[in-house]
Structure 1
Amino acid sequence: MTIHEVAEKDLDDWLQLALELWPDYDAADMQAILGTIDQSPREAGFLARDERGKAIGFMNLSLRIDYVPGASQTPVAYLEGIYVQPDRQDQGIGRALISRAEQWAREQGCTELASDVLFDNQLGQAFHKRSGFTEVERVVFYIKQV
């Protein structure tokens, strides 16, 4: 398996995996989001490929300068999304992506890597705990029309 930063030749594979993780997005909107990440000096996308070169996972990272719960400095390296195809999970690919995220964070001058998981995503929460993340806050957001 290899993990590398997304390049031009990877855009279609990155898009396909992102749509698997976030199926509520349409392809054009997701393509625009990934294009913004690809062009940003404060964001990065990484792909995991198997020994045959097939894309099997990805992660998106950013440098956040806004408030990040539990962070002691700014900017903070932030794991914006991580995904490994279901048939390839529990093979160390997610952990390898996190190791690469930690390396990227250090390269950006950060000493912390932050992330978030939806409240009902038990699988994601368990993955983060196994990967060495510490839970720092739980929040329920509300909105009201006025």
Structure 2
Amino acid sequence: MNKNVVFGSLENIDDILFMALQLWTDNTYDGLREELTEILNNEKETILLYKLENEFIGFNHVAIRHDYVEGSNSSPVGFIEGIFVKENHRGKGIAKILVRSGEEWAKSRGCTQIGSDVEFHNVESYNFHKKIGYTEVNRIICFLKNIG
């Protein structure tokens, strides 16, 4: 793993939370803090942090999934649940390093594939995934109807 990449822990949850709230803007502080605490205490998930000098500037949340992952033909499958790099540090290869570190972590846990998804309108993330060697395997539109 890259020397700037470290595993997230409860000690640096506030740093993770600061960045995660920028990525998942529809979450609340308390709700996301609780979710991150669960992630950091789960051996099937990790948060990898990129540290530059004394500042965390990006993270990659990776999980091991045993349910079906779109396009996969194996199980378990690593899955990039979310990746973020602070805006002033983008375009410098940091996200790619975080993804590669996540791939190594998943591989060390028996995965032979890793998946990811992007929201339909997120062209920047789509282009990033294509650039680092990910192949689009499907497109879906999700529906929901209130029935109660």
Whether the TM-score (by the shorter chain) exceeds 0.5 is: yes
Is 1:104 paired with 2:116?
no
Q: Which runs of 4+ in 1 moved over 6 A?
A: none
Is 1:22 paired with 2:16?
no
RMSD of equivalent CA atoms:
1.0
Tell me how far apart the structure 2 counterparts of residues 77 and 97 of structure 1 sit (CA, whole Å): 14
Q: What is the deviation of 1:63?
A: 0.7
Q: How does 1:1-146 map to 2 (within 5 A)?
A: 2-50=4-52, 52-146=53-147
- Give CA deviations for 1:2-59 in whole Å, capped at 9, x if unaligned: 1111123211101111011112111000001101100111111111111x22010001
- Give CA deviations for 1:62-112 in whole Å, capped at 9, x if unaligned: 111111111111110000000001110000100100110111011111111
Tell me how far apart the structure 1 counterparts of residues 61 and 26 of structure 2 sit (CA, whole Å): 18
Q: What percentage of residue pairs aligned between the two structures are identical? A: 34
TM-score (norm 2): 0.94
Unaligned runs of 5+ in 1: none
Matched residues, number? 145
**SS state at 2:118 partner:** coil
Tell me how far apart the structure 2 counterparts of residues 20 and 104 of structure 1 sit (CA, whole Å): 25
Unaligned runs of 5+ in 2: none
